[in-house]
Amino acid sequence: MRRVRLTLEYDGIGFHGWQRQATGERTVQGVIEEALDRLPGKRGPLCAAGRTDAGVHALAMVAHVDKATDLPDERLRLALNAHLPREITVLDVVTAPDGFEAQFDCTYRRYLYRLKVYRDQPAGLALERDRVLPVFRRLDVEAMDMAAETFVGARDLSVFATQETRSRTRTVYLCALERCREELRLHVAADGFLRNMVRAMVGTLLWVGKGRLSPDDMHGILESRDRTCAGNNVPPQGLYFVEAGYRDWDRVRSDTVARERISSVLG
């Protein structure tokens, strides 16, 4: 048995999230473990840096697994991809130290949420329906960007929590909007994420963009710790897991990694 670190890309639309379900739904973890079982040698459980929900995608999810195999890393990557459906691709396989933990060694995680204004340019609405959140009215992007900046810092984020039983205190390192032609991209990095946290952030920023809230309202909303004061959870199809970090947060380094990954896949 040796511990291997996998870097995974997947399209989340056809899966009931990452985590294997006792009731048998199709999940990313379950499909990859089935592929591992088709290769000679026993294995341990597949553990990921994050557990994405149904419909959420990944550009570079990190996971680890213990596998009894003599295959070199690159041969193991090719063999796994031969047994995986096209919705999942193993981008990289590296033999890891025995104590490496994809989840617990991870110091930060970074997500991207894509929105696109289709009011005047509907081209792509049908083809991108499972990749981006469509918006049908113009938004005050400057106000949204100002509001997003208030989410940065260490605080109780109960206002964005959905059915959360863990501690709700998180440190948000980055929350910023980027304009990319008609598309808006929200970049969020934190030491950890509550369930549906990014989707609630986006829903709140949409209220700002539509004039229902102002950037000045954000501090009071955060301090309220009341989920009903923030925006609705937006649908999952615009959400992408971009990076699992294993060093201290560095904005420049993370931006470089994210830019390369996003541009190579999404343009």
Q: Catalytic site residues?
A: 53
Q: What is the distance between the alpha carbons of residues 252 and 255, in angstroms, rounded to a whole number?
A: 5
Tokens of 136: 């049908």
Contact 244, 61 (CB under 8 A): yes
User: Residue 120's CB: how many other CB atoms inside 10 A?
Assistant: 7
Q: How many CA atoms lie within 13 A of 220 on its CB side?
A: 6
Residue 262 has phi, psi (to 5 degrees) of: -65, -45
Q: What is the distance between the alpha carbons of residues 221 and 209, in angstroms, rounded to a whole number?
A: 16
Q: What is the distance between the alpha carbons of residues 187 and 84, in angstroms, rounded to a whole number?
A: 29
DSSP 119-174: SS--TTTTTTTTTSEEE-S---HHHHHHHHHTT-EEEE-GGG-SS--S--EEEEEE
